[in-house]
């Protein structure tokens, strides 16, 4: 098992990438790339203001992780420059990579592209090779998560993406009189004052849980809070030294947290899951081909449903290195066919009952994933009743029923929400859900690196299409008055 502190840049580079001459050379080349590709150069989106003169953003992006940053740059390349990204994290800490992600590396193959928008010098490989060399890239297995975070931070600053950190967005509402959304924002660091942002288009880029929340079974949630944590939480693993830990779930994050607990000195970790055996086939690797990544959204509803249902049915397995990281410890124990039937507290101990016995633990860690439910999202509190869900549009055969999929939003071709009742909330088409909740409608998009290559152009094109079509009369007037002469006859 490789230590996360290994000094070898080829295997696991330093978590803080150093800016050196190689990176300066790359940035010079990248500036030339961007200049050569900058056509058309002219700004074109017509400015908008409230009736009191307050400026209206063309696009507000909620979420400053990989999806939000890449969406912002895609719009900026198309000369939609009145854009702002807001994120509730501190600078450099957007997304999970330096907070609750406890794996050593990304799960996805290192050669995947997406945030680069098909600009080779903007890709992670170019950024990595500029600092560590081509030989190091060839030896690299998977991308260390800290370096991915550092790459995204460099991406943000080099491209000049406007991000307002320490800013949490509240419930979005539509202002018909100004044809824009009003989004209340609240500082998360104790500085500044609450306010309201106004935007013609809003993109939700709020991650894996962006269409619901991280799920905790009610039987666990009712325990005293000191007895349990979710894999999403800030866990004091050093306090678990010598303790017995129970983990619920068989996905990668459950194994990651089990491993960290053992690495920090936990005496035993018992991991419980419902299936008879762990999944060993990764459906996400099957999906990495142009047909699915680019055209899942083009399938009829019945086909979209059966494909995604099958992927979920196959299950999320722990990657090979994640599995063996935990299995290397003699104190690690797996319990198949062992759902938690009851959980109760006895003093400072959690008692877990499964079909195969009762166990006592000093701490429980829940890794049961997310639930899709738009009503749980504070940003959507004012509009959720108008949003069309899959259960409003499609009824699967009884044998293919799936409660969570039925709650997924039924999105348009550019990730836009659609109305539950036609004509009652047309403004929903200007609100884009670039989160993992797009899975059923559009496949791998928001919160999925593997889907970015094809999902980002759809999102960006959908927004620019609306911005142009909504102001078509003004553009026609501009054409009618255009009189720049090329020459004098």
pLDDT, tens digit, for every residue of 132-141? 999 999 999 9
Residue 18: per-residue pLDDT: 53
Mean pLDDT of 456-484: 98
Which residue, 37, 54, 38, 55, is CA-closest to 46?
A: 55
pLDDT tens digits, 22-55: 999 999 999 999 999 999 999 999 999 999 999 9
Residue 2: per-residue pLDDT: 30
What are the backbone angles phi and psi of residue 299, rounded to the nearest 5°?
Answer: -75, 155
Residue 190: pLDDT above 50? yes
What are the backbone angles phi and psi of residue 66, rounded to the nearest 5°?
Answer: -60, -40
Mean pLDDT of 389-406: 98
In which band, very low, low, confident or very high, does the pLDDT at 14 lie, cut at 50, 70 and 90? very low
pLDDT tens digits, 91-114: 999 999 999 999 999 988 999 999
pLDDT tens digits, 205-230: 999 999 999 999 999 999 999 999 99
Torsion, Cα 13 124 205 215, to 10 degrees, reads -40
Q: Which domains does the chain have, with CATH numbers?
A: 21-211+409-473 (3.50.50.60), 216-280+317-368 (3.50.50.60)
**What CA–CA distances, in Å, run from 164 to 47, 196, 441?**
21, 13, 30
The 3-class secondary structure across the chain, one letter per residue, is CCCCCCCCCCCCCCCCCCCCHHHHHHHHHHHHHHHHCCCCCCCCCCCEECCCCCEEEEEEEECCCHHHHHHHHHHHHCCCCCEEEECCCCCCCCCCCCCCCCCCECCCCCCCCCCCCCCHHHCHHHHHHHHHCHHHHHHCCCCEHHHHHHHHHHHHHHHCCCEECCEEECCCEEECCCCEEEEEEEECCCCCCCEEEEEEEEEECCCCCCCEEECCCHHHHCCCHHHEEECCCCCCHHHHCCCEEEEECCCHHHHHHHHHHHHCCCCEEEEECCCCCCCCCCHHHHCCCHHHHHHHHHCCHHHHHHHHHHHHHHCCCCCHHHHHHHHCCCCEEEECCCCCCEEEEECCEEEEEECCEEEEECEEEECCCEEECHHHCHHHCCCHHHECEHHHHCCCCHHHCCHHHHCCECCCCCCECCECCCCCCHHHHHEEECCHHHHHHHCCCCCCHHHHHHHHHHHHHHHHHHHHHHCHHHHHHHHHHCCCCCCCC
Q: How far apart, in whole angstroms, are the C-alpha atoms of residue 368 and residue 274? A: 11
User: 285 with 131: CB under 8 angstroms?
Assistant: no
Strand partners, 56: 48
Residue 317: per-residue pLDDT: 82
Residue 358: per-residue pLDDT: 97
Mean pLDDT of 422-445: 97
User: 446 with 440: CB under 8 angstroms?
Assistant: no
User: 142 with 109: CB under 8 angstroms?
Assistant: yes
Whether the link from the prior residue into 269 is cis, omega within 30° of 0, is no
| Residue carrying structure tokens 């500044």 | 192
Mean pLDDT of 56-73: 98
Residue 20: per-residue pLDDT: 55
Structure tokens belonging to residue 189: 């660091």
In which band, very low, low, confident or very high, does the pLDDT at 489 lie, cut at 50, 70 and 90? confident
Residue 4: per-residue pLDDT: 31
| Residue carrying structure tokens 């009503």 | 375
In which band, very low, low, confident or very high, does the pLDDT at 16 lie, cut at 50, 70 and 90? very low
């Amino acid at each position: 098992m490789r230590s996360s502190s290994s000094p070898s840049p080829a295997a696991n580079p330093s978590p803080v990438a150093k800016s050196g001459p190689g990176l300066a050379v790359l940035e010079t080349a990248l500036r030339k790339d961007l200049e050569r590709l900058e056509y058309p150069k002219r700004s074109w989106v017509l400015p908008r203001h409230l009736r009191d003169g307050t400026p209206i953003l063309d696009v507000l992006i909620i979420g400053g992780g990989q999806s939000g940053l890449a969406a912002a740059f895609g719009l900026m390349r198309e000369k939609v420059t009145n854009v702002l990204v807001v994120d509730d994290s501190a600078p450099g800490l957007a997304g999970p990579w330096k907070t609750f992600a406890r794996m050593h590396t990304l799960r996805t193959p290192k050669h995947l592209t997406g945030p680069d928008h098909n600009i080779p010098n903007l890709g992670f490989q170019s950024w990595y090779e500029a600092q560590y060399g081509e030989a190091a890239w060839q030896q690299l297995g998977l991308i260390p998560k800290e370096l991915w975070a550092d790459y995204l931070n460099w991406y943000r600053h080099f491209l000049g993406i406007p991000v307002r950190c320490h800013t949490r967005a509240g419930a979005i509402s539509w202002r018909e009189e100004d044809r824009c959304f009003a989004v209340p924002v609240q500082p998360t660091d104790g500085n500044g004052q609450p306010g309201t942002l106004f935007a013609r288009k809003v993109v939700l880029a709020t991650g894996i849980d962006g269409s619901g929340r991280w799920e905790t079974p009610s039987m666990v949630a009712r325990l005293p809070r000191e007895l349990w944590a979710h894999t999403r939480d800030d866990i004091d693993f050093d306090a678990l030294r010598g303790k017995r830990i129970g983990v619920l779930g068989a996905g990668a994050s459950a194994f990651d947290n089990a491993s960290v607990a053992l690495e920090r000195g936990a005496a035993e970790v018992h991991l419980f899951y419902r299936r008879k055996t762990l999944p060993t086939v990764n459906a996400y690797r099957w999906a990495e081909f142009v047909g699915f990544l680019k055209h899942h959204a083009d399938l009829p509803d019945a086909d979209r449903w059966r494909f995604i249902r099958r992927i979920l049915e196959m299950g999320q397995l722990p990657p090979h290195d994640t599995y063996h990281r935990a299995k290397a410890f003699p104190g690690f124990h797996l319990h198949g066919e062992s759902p938690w039937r009851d959980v109760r507290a006895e003093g400072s101990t959690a008692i877990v009952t499964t079909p195969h016995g009762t166990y006592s633990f000093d701490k429980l860690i829940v890794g049961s994933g997310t639930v899709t439910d738009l009503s749980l999202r504070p940003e959507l509190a004012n509009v959720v009743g108008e949003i069309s869900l899959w259960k409003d549009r499609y009824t699967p055969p009884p044998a293919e029923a799936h409660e969570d999929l039925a709650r997924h939003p039924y999105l348009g071709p550019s990730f836009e929400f659609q109305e539950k009742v036609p004509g009652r909330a047309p403004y929903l088409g200007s609100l884009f859900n670039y989160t993992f909740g797009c899975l059923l409608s559009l496949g791998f998009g928001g919160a999925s690196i593997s889907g970015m290559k094809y999902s980002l152009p759809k999102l960006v094109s959908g927004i620019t299409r609306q911005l142009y079509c909504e102001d078509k009369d003004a553009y026609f007037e501009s054409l009618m008055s255009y009189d720049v002469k090329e020459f004098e006859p």
